[in-house]
Structure 1
Amino acid sequence: MRVLIAMMKHETNTFSPIVTDFARFAAWGCHFGADARAAYAGTGMPMGAYLKLAEARGAEIVTPVAAEAMPSGPVTADAYERLSAPILDAVSKGVDAALLDLHGAMVAEVTPDGEGTLLQRMRGIAPHLPIAVTCDLHCNLTAAMVENCTALIGYKTYPHTDMYEVGERIGRVLFDTLDGKVRPVMAWGNIPLLSQTLMQGTDDEPMKGLIAMARAQEAEGALASTVFGGFALADMPDAGNSAIVVADGDLAKAEAWRDSLLARAWDSREAFIYRHRPLGEAVAAAKDLGAQVDGPVILLDHADNCGSGATQDVMTVIAEVIEQGLEDVAVAAVWDPEAVQQMRAAGVGATVTVTLGGRTDMPAIGMAGRPLEVTGRVRTLTDGEWVVHGPMYTGVKVMMGPTAVLDTGKVQIVVVSNHHEPWDQGVFTSVGIQPQHKKYLLLKSRIHYRAGFGGLSEHHLTLDGDGVTTSDNSLLTYEHVRRPVYPLDRLNRPD
């Protein structure tokens, strides 16, 4: 048996000004051939699970590419073709099955449905090729994705700590199909709901209850049951909440399970929308809270979260924290390669004044970059490389690029050269900061921070700053999403 195993992932924020070219994939991790297999074997990723399953069967394994880029703007035509071409070439040479680790919210210059187009092209070469797919919980599911694969599943956790588990589950479904043990049929659908990523944490309602329903369906016999929160920052026709159920030969049962998931999601639509609070008021509340508790207070600069496509150099929240005089704060992270080079030139221990952040304009929200002048001591300089040991992306090497820590006396700011969302404590420990001993941890994150930092504190506050991962729909102009859709439009019925 010859099995194709590949990864091609990107969560596209169409409002982001950051160009997603091939170099951006290379900066995060882009591997071909044997290097792709070596990079993900033994990791907690879906591709790690696929490799283990195929090896156990003694299959000949083909790994044409394993590529992922941090979320950003639409993928360039060049990057899309350079990543998909090796997969298509492998299919054309002949394989017996394909196991794909995709995202589900890739928008490229050549297609608004990066995953669906890839799968269509694969099936165009090999119409009957068995294909299993894992997708992110933030997948914007499309007909092209479903119609051109054998079985599809999504993560059930946000933060995504079950990537290996879901890869293993859908991989077993595919191999059982090849062995004639099961006959997968899929029922899927979506609803006109653009739920906000900030409200999709699976430890919270409404996603908690929806995930429990999906798990119950699997316990009742579904081969795989998935409810997707979708990714509302991808302005494409199918953006929004969806569900898919894979059953063993019983399409009617799959449809009933799907309908129950979608009905509950629609009934919960108001709970999927974030309610805002003035920034100054929220920071003042954080200051009061810090005076009352011992452990870290976690502050979330969620509108500038590069893990959803933000520029990671907006200084609005940091400026307010400094202005209100919060002390013993660690910040992760500000993207500013120029500031890093300035601090490297000065050297560890030097006192410098840098114009920090604000390097990027954001036309989609009508905002120009606004840097902040900060004076402090260069505390640490590193190459920014470390390996994740926490529960999300376990075993994967992180490359933040040249990295520095600027210490103002009250605030320690981790400054990076490559975008990276702080979902693991390594973002601090790799530069000599012990996060558990800080009064405040200011993280440019939404929900993924919980993987590495959730256990450090019971006190988590969202701070509504600026950025292209805003949860304020009034700041975004949608041109391509289906209409009507909630909450852009008031709807009482999903149809």
Structure 2
Amino acid sequence: MRILIAMMKHETNTFSPVVADWKRFQDWGAHLGEDALKAYEGTAMPMGAYIDLARERGAEIVTPVAAEAMPAGMVTTEAYNNLVNPILDAVREGVDCAMLDLHGAMVSEVTPDGEGTLLERIREIDPDLPIAVTLDLHCNLTDKMVSNCTTLIGYKTYPHVDMYEVGMQIGRALLDSMEGKVDPVMSWGNVPLLSQTLCQGTDDEPMATLIRLCREAEQEPGVLAATAFGGFALADMKDSGNSVIIVTDGDRAQADRIRDRILAKAWELREDFIYKHSPLEERVAEAKTMTDGPVILLDHADNCGSGATQDVMTVIAEILRQDLEDVAVAAVWDPAAVQEMQKAGIGSKITLKLGGKSDMPSIGEVGEPLEVTGTVKVLTNGEWTVHGPMYTGVNVFMGPTAVLDTGNMEIVIVSNHHEPWDIGVFTSVGIQPQHKRYLVLKSRIHYRAGFAPIGKATLTLDGKGVTTSDNNLLDYKNVRRPIYPLDLINEA
């Protein structure tokens, strides 16, 4: 058996000014051929699961590409072609099946449905090719995705700590179908609900209820997979929003029934999927009264893990203004500041105009650097390996990295965007986060993978940025309408 295994991932924030070009994929890790196999074999990724399944069967493994970039704006034509063409070439050469590790919210200059278009083009080459697909919980599911694969599943955790397990689950279903053991049929649908990522943590309501319903469904005889997608609201494309897909063994009526039950519950809980805001200065003042640390302070509107610039200084400025002590920040993106600190050298006192290098025209904001003075404490190359439960075994490349110590605050400054979902963002530069009073993280929910075990409390701080949860700041042009909460509608 000859199995094609590939990874192509990007969560596109169409409001982001950050360019998703080929270099951005290379900065994270764009691997071709044997390098792709070496990069992901033994990791807790869907691709790692696919490779293990292929090894079990003694199959020949074809890995044309494994590439991911931190979320950003629209994927360029060059980058999209560099991702898709190696996969299509491998299909043309002939394979028995394909197992694909995709995201589900890729918008490119070529197509608003990056994954659906890839699958469609694969099927144009080989209409009967068995295809298994894993998708992120934040997938904006489309008919093109479903119509052009054999089996499909999404993660049931956010933070995504079950990626290997879902890869195993859907990969086995595909192989079983090829052996005639099962006959997968899929039923999917969506509701007019544009829920916010900050309200999709699977340990929290309302998402916890939808996940519970999916797990219960998978206990029913004949159900191969059940997925409730939260969707990614910051990708302004037609199908953005909450959706459900059920895969059963030949029983479409069963799949339809389960799908409708879970979609109805998602719509019933729609108000709980919308974040409620609080004034920034009040939340920071509340944090100041909390003495048992670490207290995690989320600068969620500037989360590069959803496409933000990671250089907005609004929250950091307010924390400094209110004189919070013993603070560590991960991370500010400012390659120029890192270069200045490298020139100054470790131990030097330096004044920087930190961050604020990026304008954000989609929300009417201009970059505003913050002048800070401190000591250059650490300089590194920004490379480390994840040992926590999310992206386990994957190498991280933050680029040249520095730590600025202002006295009250240690700020990790990076040259490549990286969301802090693992404590390695601190430990790799010599900071012990468990002993800090406050941890400021430019993250939403993924921080929980590494930091929930050490955090004593968590506060969301509503700063500025293109991952805002304030719909009033975003000008949607392409999403289907009417849709809640952009439109007040009572029936799905």
TM over 0.5: yes
Matches within 5 A, 1:191-340: 191-221=191-221, 222-290=223-291, 293=292, 295-340=293-338
Aligned AA (1:66): A
The residue matched to 2:218 in structure 1 has which SS?
helix
Following the alignment from structure 2 to structure 1, what is the Cα–Cα distance between the partners of residues 455 and 473? 32
Deviation of 1:146 after TM superposition, in Å, equals 0.1
Following the alignment from structure 2 to structure 1, what is the Cα–Cα distance between the partners of residues 134 and 168? 10
Deviation of 1:458 after TM superposition, in Å, equals 3.2
Following the alignment from structure 2 to structure 1, what is the Cα–Cα distance between the partners of residues 297 and 327? 10
Aligned AA (2:224): L
Paired residues, what number?
Answer: 491
Aligned AA (1:262): L
The residue matched to 2:451 in structure 1 has which SS?
helix
Following the alignment from structure 1 to structure 2, what is the Cα–Cα distance between the partners of residues 255 and 385? 47
Deviation of 1:358 after TM superposition, in Å, equals 0.2
Following the alignment from structure 1 to structure 2, what is the Cα–Cα distance between the partners of residues 402 and 162? 31
Query: Structure 2: 5+ residue runs without aligned partners?
Result: none
Deviation of 1:288 after TM superposition, in Å, equals 0.9
Aligned twin of 1:455: 453
Residue by residue, what CA displacement relative to the aligned partner does 1:71-115 show, whole Å, maximum 9, x if unpaired?
Answer: 000000111011100000000111100000000000000100000
Query: Structure 1: 5+ residue runs without aligned partners?
Result: none
Following the alignment from structure 1 to structure 2, what is the Cα–Cα distance between the partners of residues 228 and 29? 26
Following the alignment from structure 2 to structure 1, what is the Cα–Cα distance between the partners of residues 383 and 303? 20
Aligned AA (2:196): Q
Aligned twin of 1:55: 55
Aligned twin of 2:361: 363
Deviation of 1:289 after TM superposition, in Å, equals 1.5
Residue by residue, what CA displacement relative to the aligned partner does 1:303-338 show, whole Å, maximum 9, x if unpaired?
Answer: 000000000000000000000000000000000000
Aligned twin of 2:388: 390
Aligned twin of 2:148: 148
Deviation of 1:219 after TM superposition, in Å, equals 1.0
The residue matched to 2:188 in structure 1 has which SS?
strand
Aligned twin of 1:104: 104
Fraction of identical pairs, as percent:
71
Matches within 5 A, 1:418-433: 418-433=416-431
Aligned AA (2:341): M
Residue by residue, what CA displacement relative to the aligned partner does 1:453-482 show, whole Å, maximum 9, x if unpaired?
Answer: 001123100000000000000000000000
TM-score where L is the length of structure 1:
0.99
- 1:442 counterpart (440, 443, 450): 440
Aligned AA (1:259): D
Following the alignment from structure 2 to structure 1, what is the Cα–Cα distance between the partners of residues 321 and 382? 29
The residue matched to 1:456 in structure 2 has which SS?
coil
Residue by residue, what CA displacement relative to the aligned partner does 1:339-365 show, whole Å, maximum 9, x if unpaired?
Answer: 000000000000000110000000000
Aligned twin of 1:10: 10
Task: Tell me if 1:176 matches 2:153.
Answer: no
The residue matched to 1:452 in structure 2 has which SS?
helix
Following the alignment from structure 1 to structure 2, what is the Cα–Cα distance between the partners of residues 240 and 455? 30
Deviation of 1:489 after TM superposition, in Å, equals 0.1
TM-score where L is the length of structure 2:
0.99
Following the alignment from structure 1 to structure 2, what is the Cα–Cα distance between the partners of residues 196 and 488? 12
Deviation of 1:182 after TM superposition, in Å, equals 0.3
Aligned AA (2:386): V
Aligned AA (1:266): W
Deviation of 1:54 after TM superposition, in Å, equals 0.5
Following the alignment from structure 1 to structure 2, what is the Cα–Cα distance between the partners of residues 457 and 43? 26
Aligned twin of 1:78: 78
Residue by residue, what CA displacement relative to the aligned partner does 1:392-447 show, whole Å, maximum 9, x if unpaired?
Answer: 00000000000000000000000000000000000000000000000000000000
The residue matched to 1:364 in structure 2 has which SS?
helix
Aligned AA (2:247): V
- 2:372 counterpart (353, 371, 374): 374
The residue matched to 2:182 in structure 1 has which SS?
coil
Following the alignment from structure 2 to structure 1, what is the Cα–Cα distance between the partners of residues 295 and 456? 8
Following the alignment from structure 2 to structure 1, what is the Cα–Cα distance between the partners of residues 155 and 82? 27
4+ residue segments displaced more than 2 Å: none
Aligned AA (1:8): M
Aligned AA (1:129): L
Following the alignment from structure 1 to structure 2, what is the Cα–Cα distance between the partners of residues 219 and 417? 46
Deviation of 1:220 after TM superposition, in Å, equals 1.1
Task: Tell me if 1:94 matches 2:94.
Answer: yes
Residue by residue, what CA displacement relative to the aligned partner does 1:134-174 show, whole Å, maximum 9, x if unpaired?
Answer: 00000000000000000000000000000000000000000
Residue by residue, what CA displacement relative to the aligned partner does 1:229-279 show, whole Å, maximum 9, x if unpaired?
Answer: 000000000000000000000000000010111000000000000000000
Task: Tell me if 1:135 matches 2:135.
Answer: yes
Aligned twin of 2:25: 25
Aligned AA (2:309): T
The residue matched to 1:43 in structure 2 has which SS?
coil
